[in-house]
Amino acid sequence: MQIYNDYKDHADFLTIYIREAHPTDEWRMKSNEKEKDNVCYAQPKTLEQRIAIANDFTQRFKFPLPFGIDEMSNAANDAYAAWPERLYVVDENGRISYKGGNGPFKYDPKEVRAWLAKRYGEVKHAEKAPEKKS
Amino acid sequence: MAGGPKDAIEMVRFALPHMHLGTLKVGDSAPDARLVALDGATRFQIRERAQGRPLVLVFGSFT
C-alpha cells in the first residue's frame, strides 16, 4: 500500500481479486486460523460468495486501492496466469512492461517500486525514531 | 508453506493445477478481461482503468 500512496499521482493501480489460494476446503493453512485473525473461507462457488469475501477483505483492512473481482470464469486469472498472486505493470501503450513472478516466493513488490522509481523518481520516507525502552 | 505430508499432498492436488508460468512476455499487449466491482453490480474491463498512465495490476486473494 505504501507504493500506492507514493506513486498514485503518477500511475494507476488495480487490485484484481482471484480464486482463493488457501480456502478451507482445499489447501488449508493453519496460519490463517491463528495468525491472520480467522481468515477462513471455502473456495467460492458463486460470484456472490467471491464478492462477499472481497468486501470482507477491503472492509477489514480499509483497503484503499481500486478493486475488481474476477468473474467465476476466472478470465483475468487465466489471461495473466496470476494465481496465487502476481504483479504486472502495463505501460501507457497497453503493453506489458513488467511481469512479476508467481507468489508467494517470487512475488516482489520491490520490483514494482523499482520500475516506478526508475520512471518517476524514488520516494524516500523519514526513518521512524526507535522506540525508547523504559 | 508445506509443513508435512498432508500439506504436500494438498499442494499437489489443489495448487499445482492452478500455478502457471503463463505465456505473457514483456512487450506483449496486455490482455483484457471483464471484472466486477465491489458493489456486485458494476462491470468494467481491465483496460478501462488504463488512463494514459502506467497501470499496476495486483492479483491476489484473501487466504
Average pLDDT over residues A117-129: 82
Q: Does residue B54 fall inside a structural domain? A: no
A23 contacts in chain B (CB < 8 Å): 63
Architecture of the CATH domain A2-120? 3-Layer(aba) Sandwich (3.40)
Q: pLDDT (tens digit, 9 = 90+) per residue, A31-61?
A: 666 655 666 788 899 999 999 999 999 999 8
Name the band, by pLDDT with cuts 50, 70 and 90, for residue A22: confident
Tell the burial category of A95 from Cβ atoms under 10 Å away from its Cβ (0-12, 13-18, 19+): middle
Q: Which of A30-39, A97-106, A113-122, B8-17 has the lowest mean pLDDT?
A: A30-39
Q: Does residue B25 fall inside a structural domain? A: yes
Of B20, B30, B56, the CB nearest to A112: B56
Distances (CA, A) of A1 to A24, A53, A66, B62: 27, 20, 11, 15
CB contact under 8 A, A13 and B55: yes
ipTM > 0.90, yes or no: no
Structural domain boundaries in chain A = 2-120
What average pLDDT is seen over chain B? Answer: 85
CB contact under 8 A, A54 and B23: no
Q: Does residue B57 fall inside a structural domain? A: no
3-state percent breakdown (helix, strand, coil) of chain B, nearest 5? 30, 20, 50
Of B30, B34, B58, the CB nearest to A13: B58
pLDDT for A129: 60
Stated pTM of the model: 0.84
Q: Which domain holds residue B41?
A: 5-49
By the CB < 8 Å criterion, does A82 face chain B?
A: yes
Number of structural domains found in chain B? 1
